[in-house]
Structure 1
Amino acid sequence: MKAVYNLAVAACGVLLAGTAAQAGDFRAQRPVAVYNAPYYNWTGFYAGAFAGGAHGVWTVDFYRNNNHGHSEQGADGLAFGLYGGYNYQFARNFVIGAEVDLGRSTASQSNDIFDNDTSYAKYGMFGSARARAGYAFDRLLVFGTLGVGIADLTNTIQKGRNAGEQVVWENQVKAGLTTGVGVEYAFTNNWVGRGEYVYTDYGSVTLFNRDGNRADFKNELHLIRAGASYRF
């Protein structure tokens, strides 16, 4: 009888040990949850303001009495304005969109071409409509932009000091190709900071006065600006 009791106790011990081993194996094989932080989503509308520096470049060729005067002048000023647009993000890292901006520049220049002839040029209001394409590194976006820019330009040639001989082309809107590059960083889910460079070639303007003198202007504008926008 005692032998039977000892055999039963041994069998229960083996059964309990096997059950504990299986429980240990289950704990070891249970999958561990892994949390992956979501990537920042750039899709949506946004609007903001920018400020920075403007560098205007004017190339002037002036023809008077079979004489040719050539001048290349640059002028630095300020630029400030507003911008807004829409982004669409796809394939996790690629971002495309469209943007418009409207601003004002203080860049201008005055230059003597001959002894008593002066050229004058300045930029006023400017704006653009551009497509954008970029690559997102989570909250950091690197992008390029291409589109059409417009500007209110003033180009003037003063022949001598007689206002009657003045040749003026002013308060006209010229259009040209705009291109640029930049970076954006999302500091929060709604506020995004930006730095970018934008170049616009507004083409050439030809002026004549009553004496048949001719002036050819080529107008270009370089912008380096920082901005901040709010995403809706």
Structure 2
Amino acid sequence: MKKILAALVAFAALTAAAPAPGADLGSGRYYKGPAYEPAMAVARWTGFYIGGHLGGAFSGSNNFNGAVLSDSSARLLGGVQAGLDWQFAPNWVLGTEGQYSWLGKNNLTATFPGGYVYTNDQRGLGSITARIGYTWGPGLAYVKGGYAYSDNAERVTLGGVPTAFLLDGNHSNGYTVGAGVEYMFVPNWSVKGEYMYYNFGSSRFVTPVALAPFGSFTTEDHTLKLGVNYRFNFASPVVARY
């Protein structure tokens, strides 16, 4: 019995003297596991995108020396867009975009003395623009500008009968400027709202000669659009931060 008690006392003494496991971890080196944050906090805009839009178009109020050409009436529009963005700095994005909008039917008409009537059915608006924007994570505010195209279907009638005509200006090609805001609400998907102004220059009639004295008119449009884009080549849903 005495030998057993002596052995137990010795074992207890050795156990008390042994260092506790991990007691000196504070003095050694250790590694912290990765922390994760949502991709939206570090959204990346670099990549290609495609999408669609809906909105309204409003023609500028123009006239031939008092002969009304348009009444600024609103038309529905819908279209598609595709583009490429490059986030070249933490808060700056540079890009280019092609866009086409189909317009609801709205014949812009000018009636002249003598029975001549000029009609322009503007069927669509296209553009190729550059844009630059300021980003804060999932948000992007931008301005844009570039080439614009107007798909016009024009005619002149005399007493209801179509007649030949010639204009001295090309009001199908022009320019556009605009601004908008885009927001990436989930990875790879964004929504946007934008305003664009289109100007296609001034034109006047060369023939019929009876219309030449009435001067020139300017073709211009104002549009408001809401759109959605699907974006390729973005960051993964999570990123590691050490």
Q: TM-score, normalised by structure 1?
A: 0.73
Q: Distance in 1 between matches of 2:218 and 2:75?
A: 18
Is residue 57 of structure 1 aligned with residue 51 of structure 2?
A: no
Please tell me whether residue 42 in structure 1 is matched to residue 45 in structure 2.
yes
CA contact (8 A) 2:143 2:178 kept: yes
1:46 Cα offset (Å): 0.2
RMSD over equivalenced CA pairs, Å: 3.1
CA distance in structure 1 between the aligned counterparts of 2:120 and 2:77, rounded to whole angstroms: 16
C-alpha separation in 2, matches of 1:164 and 1:45: 46
Select the structure with the greater relative contact order (CA < 8 A; seq sep ≥ 6): 2
Shift of the 110–134 alpha-carbon distance from structure 1 to 2, 3 Å rule, reads: same
Contact 2:171 2:201 in 1 (8 A): no
Distance in 2 separating the partners of 1:110 and 1:164: 14
Is 1:141 the counterpart of 2:140? The answer is yes
2:228 paired residue number: 228
Indicate the percent of aligned positions where both proteins have the same amino acid: 27
> Residues 184 and 86 from structure 1, CA distance in 2 versus in 1: closer, same or farther, beyond 3 angstroms?
same
CA shift in 2, pair 1:126/1:81, >3 Å: same
Aligned position for 1:95: 93
SS of match in other structure, 2:45: coil
Contact kept? 1:50, 1:227, Cα under 8 Å: yes
Q: Which runs of 5+ in 1 are unaligned?
A: 1-15, 62-67
Letter matched to residue 225 of structure 1: K
- Distance (Å, rounded) in 1 between the aligned partners of 2:90 and 2:146: 25
CA shift in 2, pair 1:164/1:173, >3 Å? closer
User: Equivalent residue for 1:71?
Assistant: 68
* Amino acid paired to 1:55: F
Q: Separation in 2 of the partners of 1:119 and 1:58?
A: 16
Q: Which stretch has the larger CA shift, 187-196 or 199-208? A: 199-208
Call closer, same or farther: CA 1:70–1:57 in 2, change over 3 Å.
Answer: same
Task: Decide whether the 8 Å contact of 2:155 with 2:162 is kept in 1.
Answer: no
What's 2:219 paired with? Answer: 219
Matches of residues 84-163 of structure 1 in structure 2 within 5 Å?
Answer: 84-106=82-104, 107-112=106-111, 114=113, 116-158=115-157, 161=159, 163=161
Aligned pair count? 202
